[in-house]
Chains A and B, each alone.
Chain A
């Protein structure tokens, strides 16, 4: 048995930032992660991180950043949280710089910015097109500097709930197969996104919604799970992402006739309208026959080779490697692809969920910054701002607590062992967990995607229920103890199915179009009835839906045009 004041689950940007804050406050803190910290998916962020820095020669303000975010969210973001983020952003960027991030500079050696979608000012700080990688590795350096305890390549199986409070986790050491109890006075969930619930997705294979499902199972509600972002520029072949930074640097979107079609849909912001808007425009172009092979094009040719090499090197490499296109010379075929989940474990601005002792930050949390649609480069910002804040709040919570009560450790371990043994004992049903996942991913991508209908979403919901039945017959055929991928991927599938079900149910319930939730049968936003959050609780007999008002501080709803 292990014991800490604070246990952070996840070593992406949010988790590591939370852990560093907790350790600065003198708490005994540990991080647990199913992959080495620098393998976390924060790596994949290319474009940058937002902050309204103001300063010499800039007329940007935190209010403008907040307003852009509110508008981007289609008025579903909570304005109190958004204010916190926009106000605190500059200090967090400076801190990242002080930690060692090699942000791009202007001619005076100060931090440089680039343009990004949905923003009224240029306020995105970046490192070439490897911003996430640059940040993640620096955060890991800080973790090493702090001498943090890291349970590396440990898989969290369940959260411990004692007398209504979260009191640690049960996890498997992936290298030995041993199941251990790690007790903590406070737990911070920072386990990232759900990409693999969809097929295809820009997300890595490790983005399986574990954190959300684990929290959901101990009674923490998820919020706005219907809000799933499709990114406008994903590669045709493998669904890899080409950063919005490309359009920030001036790249065009063109259809098969070479037309910059965004002039029809967003005459002012053109290619840099909000993502939901651009993705819908592309989908319409493709549907109406102005695409090629289910795609439109991202055109970088006019940017010139030098700029492309210096600032868009990684996407030039991706396009060449994975689509065989040299973006210096040719437009590259792209299409909207599943990218991000705005929804997540409902928290307040200090990361506290509805279960005392359980905090959450990063993509698995929903502090309600992004509402119906996330602005590019706001998510990295969310990880550091709310990672830091939840780290602090978790320590304060832990300090207020006496010694935890103790459910028998053996019982906690035996429960997990029994569950795993059952999976191993079952006869092979004729299909693998990958087959089930693929069917789930395809149906979600078909019906709970850019455009949605009642009928489609019902079909998706029914399919998920059927797949849940199939899940219970799955057999784990690898009986080894060491690095048993067969076992982990099966457990991940269980998590993904829970998330998929919650997403379908939340989406079916919202009878309007807002942000990324665009319904052909309810095409308009309906502020009168639907300016509210969807909460989803796990319950016997299926998810239970509830609602919560949106927090408005100073920006009442407006018509949203770009």
Chain B
């Protein structure tokens, strides 16, 4: 047995105010953070609210922030986050409104899952028996199907922090599960890729890796987002800022050996889309005032021809 010091962020729905409350409980040496929380609510303070059920990392109920990062409380050992008896800080999931204590409002989360039309759209009529599909394709999807929709990735997503419109890592990983399914029809797949290429979709991820790090089931949502991007570009969905951005990036590096930051923004928005570019004028003016605008004169770096050669080799492959 050992003593655990918990600092729990509590939200009172009546006053709509949050405060931290300290608890001290005795738990088994092998206990998880959730065990400590359950011990509190069962024997010390029955008013403490938390969602939890399976205690084996499959139901996805108990995602919360532990010492600042989203985790499944049931699979987070006390010993791993508090090796020397340090106080453990637990808070509800981020990027969500608290409902009561550790219970967060998952409504917006589920709304985004719905937004990607998360159901298989197979070719019809269905066969009498099963659809024939290669095991490798099914095995590849297991990675995404592993997702238990706990919301840890969404909690710590840095894009969602600033842009609520982003579909987010969980729903996009879910979308991959269909994009990558050989049973879907071509039309359904194209429709998905077209939808997902729009504002709020796959191109809004900034590759910060937070979702990959906090995912308790190794779903690696960001990798799935990149998988969808590749599929979208390959399927010809190139008319969007994201594709133009990565094209511009590649083009300047290929030909000059370094990034031409001055051209990056207009090229990403589309050189002929004057309206979109005009929207950025105020930002540009502020940047100029602060001396943050890259030089319009972009020079070729010495040895740039080697970079070009590497690009050519890769493109041949």
Q: Which residues of A approach B to under 8 Å, CB–CB?
A: 35-36, 38-41, 43-44, 55, 94, 97-100, 102-112, 127-128, 130, 133-134, 137-138, 141-142, 144-145, 175, 204-206, 237-238, 240-241, 310, 314, 317-318, 321-322, 324, 432-435, 476-478, 480-486
Contact = CB atoms under 8 A, between A and B. Distances in A.
Nearest to B182: A109
B60 A39 contact: yes
Contact of B47 (A98, A238, A477): A477
A35 B146 contact: no
Interface string B45-67: 01111111111111111000000
Contacts of B96: none
Contacts of B106: 36
Interface of B: 13-14, 28, 30, 41-43, 46-61, 75, 77, 99-100, 103, 106, 110, 114, 118-120, 122, 126, 128-135, 138-139, 141-142, 145-146, 148-149, 178, 181, 183
B130 A103 contact: yes
A102 B142 contact: yes
A144 B60 contact: no
A41 B59 contact: yes
A102 B181 contact: yes
Contacts of A138: 120
Contact of A324 (B30, B53, B145): B30
Contacts of B100: 480, 482-483
A108 B133 CA distance: 8
Secondary structure call for the B interface: loop
Contact of A133 (B58, B75, B126): B58
A309 B53 CA distance: 26
Given A44-B58, A110-B132, A485-B50, A105 B103 contact: no
Given A106-B135, A205-B52, 17 more contacts: A38-B149, A39-B59, A39-B60, A41-B54, A44-B56, A44-B59, A98-B130, A100-B178, A104-B138, A130-B145, A133-B145, A133-B148, A205-B53, A480-B100, A483-B13, A484-B49, A485-B41
A485 B145 contact: no
Contacts, number: 159
Contacts of A322: 30, 56
Given A112-B135, A310-B139, A478-B47, A100 B60 contact: no
Contacts of A480: 13-14, 47, 100
Contact of A41 (B53, B75, B119, B148): B53
A44 B55 CA distance: 10
A314 B58 contact: yes
20 contacts: A43-B54, A98-B122, A100-B122, A100-B178, A102-B145, A104-B135, A104-B138, A111-B130, A127-B142, A204-B53, A205-B55, A318-B56, A321-B75, A321-B77, A435-B43, A477-B47, A480-B13, A482-B14, A482-B49, A485-B49
A483 B130 contact: no
Contacts of A35: 51, 53, 59, 61
A105 B138 contact: yes
A322 B57 CA distance: 11
A241 B57 CA distance: 12
B53 A141 contact: no
Contacts of A94: 126, 128-130
B132 A108 contact: yes
Contact of A109 (B46, B53, B114, B135): B135
A98 B126 contact: yes
Nearest to A140: B118
Contacts of B28: 237
Contacts of B60: 38-39
Contact of A432 (B43, B142, B183): B43
A38 to B, nearest CB: 6
Contacts of A141: 118-120
A486 B181 CA distance: 44
A482 B16 CA distance: 12
Name which of B53, B60, B75, B128 has the most chain A CB atoms within 10 A of its CB. B53
B270 to A, nearest CB: 35
Contacts of A476: 46
B49 A483 contact: yes
Given A39-B59, A144-B119, A486 B110 contact: no
A112 B132 CA distance: 11
B121 to A, nearest CB: 9
A270 B75 CA distance: 33
A100 B119 contact: yes
A142 B121 CA distance: 11
A70 to B, nearest CB: 27
A97 B132 CA distance: 10
A317 B53 CA distance: 18
Given A35-B53, A44-B54, A482 B99 contact: yes
Given A39-B60, A317-B57, A98 B131 contact: yes
Name which of A138, A145, A483 has the most chain B CB atoms within 10 A of its CB. A483
A435 B41 CA distance: 12
Given A39-B61, A41-B59, A321-B57, A105 B13 contact: no
Contacts of A145: 119
A97 B131 CA distance: 8
Considering the complex of A and B, which 4 residue pairs feature the smallest CB-CB distances, nearest first? A100-B120, A434-B42, A204-B53, A482-B13
Contact of B99 (A40, A175, A434, A477): A175
Nearest to B52: A205
Contacts of B110: 36
A240 B55 contact: yes
Contacts of B118: 141, 144
B251 to A, nearest CB: 39
A385 B201 CA distance: 38
Nearest to A317: B57
B56 A240 contact: yes
A144 B114 contact: yes
Contact of A100 (B14, B41, B114, B183): B183
B99 to A, nearest CB: 6
A527 B149 CA distance: 49
A97 B130 contact: yes
